[in-house]
Amino acid sequence: MCGIVGVQGTERAAETAFMCLYALQHRGQEAAGICTTSNGRAYLHRATGLVIEGFNDTVLAGLPGETALGHVRYSTAGGSGLVNAQPILVRYHKGDLAVSHNGNITNAQILRQELEREGALFQTTVDTEVIVHLIARSRQPTVDEQIREALSKLVGAFSVLLMVGDTLYAARDPWGFRPLVVGRARGGWVVASETCALDLIGAQIACEPAPGSILKIERGEVTHLEPLEQAGDPAPCIFELVYFARPDSRVWGASVDRARRAFGRQLAREQPAAADCVFSVPDSSNSAALGFAEESAIPYELGLIRNHYVGRTFIHPYQKGRDFRVRIKYNAVREVIDGKSVVVVDDSLVRGTTSRGLIALIREAGAREIHFRVASPPVISPCYYGIDMPTKAELIGATHSIDEIRRHIAVDSLGYLSLEGMHRAVAEFGPFCDACFSGRYAAPLVDLEMGRPASTRC
C-alpha cells in the first residue's frame, strides 16, 4: 500500500508535498520520496524510513519549484531499500517524467514481457515502471494522448500521479479501486490519497475524481481529459474503511470514523455478548469498539495500552519467547480486566498471530471470559488491487472454520461481522469491492490467469 500526493501552482511545492506525506504516513513507512520541477529541470529525493527521517529543511531547500510529486511506500516482502521507492523519474523524448502510484496492475507482467521483448530496460521490480515505458513508446503526438493511451492498456488498480515539466496529471483506474481527492490550497492544487492530508495544510476539498478520470493541472487550472473507458461498476475498496484509512479522513464520501462506528454497532447487533466491559485493540479499532459499546450498552473501557515508541527496526533480544512482538507493542491494564468478562473488538483478523498473543496477554491480566469480536467478515482471499496481504494459505479465515479459529486464539466466544451486515452499515456509499472478504474480483486478474506471478504492488 502507498500514499501519494501531487502539488501544482504553489510556492515551494516540496514543502506542501512533505506536509501531506507526513499526514499520509500510515499508508507507508518503508520509504518516502518527493520530486519537483523548476525551470524545466526535475529534482528528486528519496529515502528509506519515515518522512521526517528522510527529509529536513536542507533537503527540501534542494527541491525547488511550484510542481511536486510525493510518495510513501509500504513495506513489502519483495523490495526492501530504495530500489523500489517512488516517485520514479525518467528522461524521455518529451522531457523529464515522474510518477507516483498507489495500486496494483493485474496485467503488469504481461505488459512488461512485451516491453522487454522490444528492448525496454527496467530499473525496478514494481508494476509502476510499465506505465512510464508505455508512455515513452506511445506513437501519439501529445503528452495528453500518450498518457491516455498508456493508461488504457492497464488492467487493475491505479490511482496515479504523473509530472511532465510543470504539468501534473492525476488519474484513477476505471473501477476506482484506490482513493484520490483534489483540494485547493496556497493558490494552487493538491491531489492526495486521503482528506487528512488536505486538512493538515488547510486545503479546501474540491472533488473526488470519478473512476476512470484523467485530470490535467497546469498554470493553476484543472482540465478533465477524456476519461478512460468504463469497465463495469465502480468498485471502491471497502478495506480502506475497515482498516487502512485514517479515522479523520473522508473516503468514498464516508467519514471513516462514522463507518467504523456503524460496523461496531452492526457487530453488536449480530454478535451480542454478555460482558462487564468492552475495549478495543488500539488505535485502529477504537471507533468500532465504541460503536459496539453504544449499541450493546456495555461500558467502554481502556483495557490495552499501546506503546508508540516501537520503531520499524525493533530489535528482539528475547524474541524467541512467545508473543513477544505483541508484548512490545501492547500492555494490558490489570485493573480493567481482572476478574471480568470482557468483549475485545478488533477491526479485522488476517493471520491470527497478533490476536492470539493479545488474548494471552489479556488472559494473564485476569480476564474471566473473553469474547472476541471482529468488525469485518473473515478475510478469505488475497487482495490483488493494492492492499498488502499474505497468501491464501496464511489467511486463517481461508483455512480454518470459525470454531477452529476460536480455539486457536483461545477465546470463549468469537464473532465476525457478516458480509451483508458490513455492506448494510455503509450502504449509502457503495457498492464496494469486497474481494478479500468474498473472493469476487471486480477486475480481471490477467497475470494470474496467464500463469504469471502477481507483480509488486504499490
Which residues, numbered 354-413, are part of the site for its own copies (CB under 8 A)?
Answer: none
Our finding on whether 331 is near its own copies (CB under 8 A) is: yes
Binding to its own copies (CB under 8 A) within 195-214 occurs at: 196, 199-201
Q: What is the SS3 assignment for 429?
A: helix
Quote the least distance from Cβ 73 to its own copies, whole Å.
15
Contact with its own copies (CB under 8 A) among 207, 210, 302, 450: 302
Our finding on whether 138 is near its own copies (CB under 8 A) is: yes
Q: How many CA atoms lie within 13 A of 339 on its CB side?
A: 1
Our finding on whether 25 is near its own copies (CB under 8 A) is: yes
Our finding on whether 427 is near its own copies (CB under 8 A) is: no
Our finding on whether 80 is near its own copies (CB under 8 A) is: no
Residue 260's DSSP bridge partners are none
Q: Closest Cα to residue 265, out of 25, 425, 449?
A: 425
Our finding on whether 75 is near its own copies (CB under 8 A) is: no
Candidates 233-241, 253-261, 394-402, 434-442; binding stretch for its own copies (CB under 8 A): 253-261
Residue 223's DSSP bridge partners are 216
Quote the least distance from Cβ 334 to its own copies, whole Å.
7
Quote the least distance from Cβ 403 to its own copies, whole Å.
31
Asked if 340 and 367 touch (Cβ cutoff 8 Å), the reply is yes
Q: Closest Cα to residue 136, out of 98, 81, 80, 174?
A: 98
Site string for its own copies, 108-137 (x = CB under 8 A): -----x--xxxxxxxx--------xx--xx
Question: What is the amino acid identity at position 32?
Answer: A
* Cell representation of residue 424: 448494510
Quote the least distance from Cβ 300 to its own copies, whole Å.
6
Contact with its own copies (CB under 8 A) among 159, 286, 354, 381: 286
Question: What is the amino acid identity at position 359?
Answer: I
Quote the least distance from Cβ 255 to its own copies, whole Å.
4
Give the alpha-carbon dihedral of 183, 263, 282, 403, to 10 degrees: -140
Quote the least distance from Cβ 116 to its own copies, whole Å.
4
Candidates 169-177, 329-337, 342-350, 432-440; binding stretch for its own copies (CB under 8 A): 329-337
CA distance 235 to 332: 39
* Cell representation of residue 3: 500514499
Q: Closest Cα to residue 1, out of 20, 22, 29, 23?
A: 29
Our finding on whether 15 is near its own copies (CB under 8 A) is: yes
Q: Assess whether 20 carries a catalytic annotation.
A: no
Count residues near its own copies (CB under 8 A). 72
Q: How many CA atoms lie within 13 A of 22 on its CB side?
A: 14
**Residues taking part in catalysis:** 2
